[in-house]
Every structure is written in C-alpha cells, then in structure tokens.
Amino acid sequence: MKLNLLVAGILSAVVSLTGCSNEPADTISAQGQFSLKEAFKDKFAIGAAVNELHIADGIESALVAQHYNTLTPENMMKWEEIHPQPDQFSFSRPDALVAFSERQGIQLVGHTLVWHSQTPDWVFYHQDGTRKNRAELLTLMKSHIEAVAGRYKGRVYAWDVVNEAFNEDGTLRQSLWYEIIGDDYLDMAFEYAHEAAPNARLYYNDYNLFKPAKRKGVIELVKRLKSKGIQIDGVGMQAHYALDYPSFDDVEASIEAFSAQGVDVMITELDISVLPFPDDENMGADVGLSIALQDEYNPYTEVLPKEKLDELASRYEALFAIFNRHSDKVGRVTFWGVHDAHSWRNNWPMPGRKDYPLLFGHDKQLKTFATRLPYAG
C-alpha cells in the first residue's frame, strides 16, 4: 500500500515536471496548486480587502487562506460600521475577522481610523445641528481610536491611521476634521493611535500618490510628524488604476521618494479598471464621485474581449515588474477585493457596471495571466 502511494506520488511529480498531463498547463487544475503568497514570498506580503463573506463562505475563505498573507477589512472597521452611534460599537464582524486572521496566520491591517468618508454626521455635529468645536472633536477622536485600535492592540498588525487627507495639489482637503480641528488633526490622530496600540505599525493612506504635487504634500506630512517625534511607519499608495492610467514612471518615482523618507511603502488598494472612465478630471478614487449609469461606459456586460484581457495582463506585468524591482522598499501589495464580482469598481464611479479589475474573475477563478506575472527578478 505504502509502495503504491510512493509510486503514484513519483508518477504525478514526473507528470507535473514534464507537463505530460492531459491538461494544458494553464487550466484551473494546474492553477489549483498555485498560490500568490508563495509566488511572492521572497518579495513582499500579498493581500486583499475582504468583507464578512470571505471568511464565512467555504470557497471564498479557502481562496483567501491559499493566496494571501495579509488582509484589510474593506468596510467593517470604518467609523460608520464599527461605531455607528455615539454609544454603540459593532465589533462582532471585526472580531470574527481578527480571529480568522489569527487562525490562518494572516497579518491584518486595520482600515481606517480617521477619514472624511463613511463617517456618521453625529461625529461632527451636535443633535441641534451645530458643529462641534475643536476640543469636543479631539476628545471624540481620541476615544474612538482608544476603543477601536485599543481593542485590537497586539492583534491588528498595522493601522491606516488617516485616510485621504490631501487634495490633488498637495494641500490639505477641507474635510470637517480639518475645518473643525485644524491641520494638526493628523498629528493628533497618529499620537492617539500610538497611545492606543503602541506596537502597531502606523500608516498614512491615500489615492493618486503618484502625482508629484500630492506626493510632496505627503512627504511634508511625514517629515513634520517625524520632526515632532510622532510615530509614522509607512505610506500606503492606494493604486486604483486603469488601462491607460497612471504613468508607471510616476508610480516608481513615488515609491522611491516615500522610501527615501525612511518609511515603508505599501501598495494598499490595487485594482486596474478595464472600463472607460467617465470623468477625466476626477480619475482617482474619490468615493464621493457618483455618475449615472450610461451604456457607453459599460461595454463588456458579457465577457471581456481578448485584446482587453491582454492589455490588463500587460498592465499588471509592468506594475509587478516595478514592485519587484523595489521589493526592498515595498513591504506589501494588497488588492482591493478578492475577485471581480465583488470589486467596488463595478459600482464606482458609476453604479451597475461590469468591470474586471482583479486577478480572480467573476467566476472566482484565477485569470491565467496571473500565474505568469513576474514573481522574481
């Protein structure tokens, strides 16, 4: 019996080495052995944004465990979800994700403590509609950070402390955080996060950070925090891209520039839309942008044509060639979603489209080109 098993094992090893199986190398069964986290293990951590579905459902959670060694909650740790009312926290789903990550040996990155979006109005306004003042908002920010980052102290590896604080020109966004507290709200958020979770890595996260002006604003932030002795460990470049956007030279220049400040660089929300973007002025990832569905912007409702799939493949190849070249600087690459069916790009900035931005398709199968990305070199 043992001998039979041994012979069978040797035979199957020979078949897979010589490619003498009945199936072409790129079929799903060949991909079944393939693991993104294994493929990139000498380069950087590889991750995905997940929601409760990915840890509850059998197929989804198996995919997650097979391919990723870092996860980010897509929505469940955002203020409106985790702290929907002044005296109400909603910890059951995040607790389950933290426990799942620990069981699987996956590093969880918390997203996000301070952001202008997906944050309830009561954070900024009194019940009578008047705005809170600086002291009130700072007190609330501190208690929120203590409650959330403090709860997962030692269990959540890192936090996106502040998300999307900058305008495209590198000035600070006129969010309610900024208007009510002033420009040191970022400094305070990082201080509170450090107090609440002293061992967590603390990151600033934003989109379009390849843009030189925006890059400059973030570099100034990093310098200021460091000069004040406030902990900041990394910059997250979201990377919501498209087939013709952005210039990879700019991406590379930003990786180099952030790293030169002595912080980790992470690609935190990678996806590449194959669809025409309906508003050239506002490419990026401003979640506030919403444009009514028009058929001309939704051309691939059945399948993605081969030439577009090839374009997607070569975009991903070029990007990963850059990330590999800078794997001494890039600590992590996280996709914003696991598979196309669940990607936010189907609904942003135009709800109801069919996009194909990730490595796993609408059928949850790994796209063939993903097994041929540059994993080394």
- What are the helix (H) ranges across 212-305? 212-227, 248-259
Beta carbons of 271 and 345 less than 8 angstroms apart: yes
Query: Which residue of the chain is nearest ligand XIL when measured via CB?
Result: 344
Of residues 157, 344, 356, 360, which one binds ligand XIL by CB under 6 A?
344
Reference 195, options 227, 161, 164, 223; nearest CA is 161
Nearer to ligand XIL, 232 or 285 (CB): 285
Beta strands 158-163 and 240-242: pairing type?
unpaired
Q: How many CB atoms lie within 10 A of CB 307?
A: 8
Nearer to ligand XIL, 61 or 75 (CB): 75
Six token digits for residue 290: 């919403």
Q: What's the maximum distance between 2 C-alpha atoms anywhere in the chain?
A: 79
Q: Is 269 a catalytic residue?
A: yes
Shortest approach of ligand XIL to residue 51 CB, angstroms?
8
Nearer to ligand XIL, 163 or 324 (CB): 163
Reference 49, options 366, 267, 290; nearest CA is 267
Q: How many CB atoms lie within 10 A of CB 305?
A: 12
Residue 193 binds ligand XIL, judged by CB under 6 A: no
Of residues 163, 175, 254, 334, which one binds ligand XIL by CB under 6 A?
163
Give Cβ neighbours of residue 360 (< 8 Å, ≥ 6 apart): 63, 338, 339, 340, 366, 367, 370
Shortest approach of ligand XIL to residue 232 CB, angstroms?
17
Nearer to ligand XIL, 186 or 285 (CB): 285
- Which of 52, 60, 164, 191 does the annotation list as catalytic? 164
Shortest approach of ligand XIL to residue 364 CB, angstroms?
18
Nearer to ligand XIL, 63 or 76 (CB): 76
Q: Is 74 a catalytic residue?
A: no
Looking at residue 369, its amino acid is F
Cis peptide before 349 (omega within 30 of 0): yes
Shortest approach of ligand XIL to residue 50 CB, angstroms?
11
At residue 47's C-alpha, the angle toward residues 369 and 368, to 5°, is: 10
| Separation between Cα atoms, residue 249 and residue 238, nearest integer Å | 16
Shortest approach of ligand XIL to residue 376 CB, angstroms?
30
Q: Binding to ligand XIL (CB under 6 A): which residues in 37-96? A: 74-75
Map residue 193 onto helix, strand or coil: helix
| Separation between Cα atoms, residue 361 and residue 346, nearest integer Å | 12
Build a one-symbol-per-residue string for 264-303: x at contacts with ligand XIL by CB under 6 A, - elsewhere.
-----x---------------x-x----------------
Shortest approach of ligand XIL to residue 238 CB, angstroms?
6
Looking at residue 11, its amino acid is L
Six token digits for residue 242: 């498209």
Number of residues interacting with ligand XIL: please give it, by CB under 6 A: 8
- Which of 220, 269, 281, 307 does the annotation list as catalytic? 269
Shortest approach of ligand XIL to residue 347 CB, angstroms?
7
Build a one-symbol-per-residue string for 204-243: x at contacts with ligand XIL by CB under 6 A, - elsewhere.
----------------------------------x-----
Reference 291, options 306, 275, 307, 312; nearest CA is 275
Question: For every residue of 31-68, which 3-state class applies, written as one string?
Answer: HCCCCHHHHCCCCCEEEEEECHHHHHCHHHHHHHHHHC
Beta carbons of 66 and 365 less than 8 angstroms apart: no
Nearer to ligand XIL, 77 or 309 (CB): 77
Nearer to ligand XIL, 209 or 309 (CB): 209
Residues designated catalytic:
164, 269
Give the residues lining the site for ligand XIL (CB under 6 A): 74-75, 163, 238, 269, 285, 287, 344
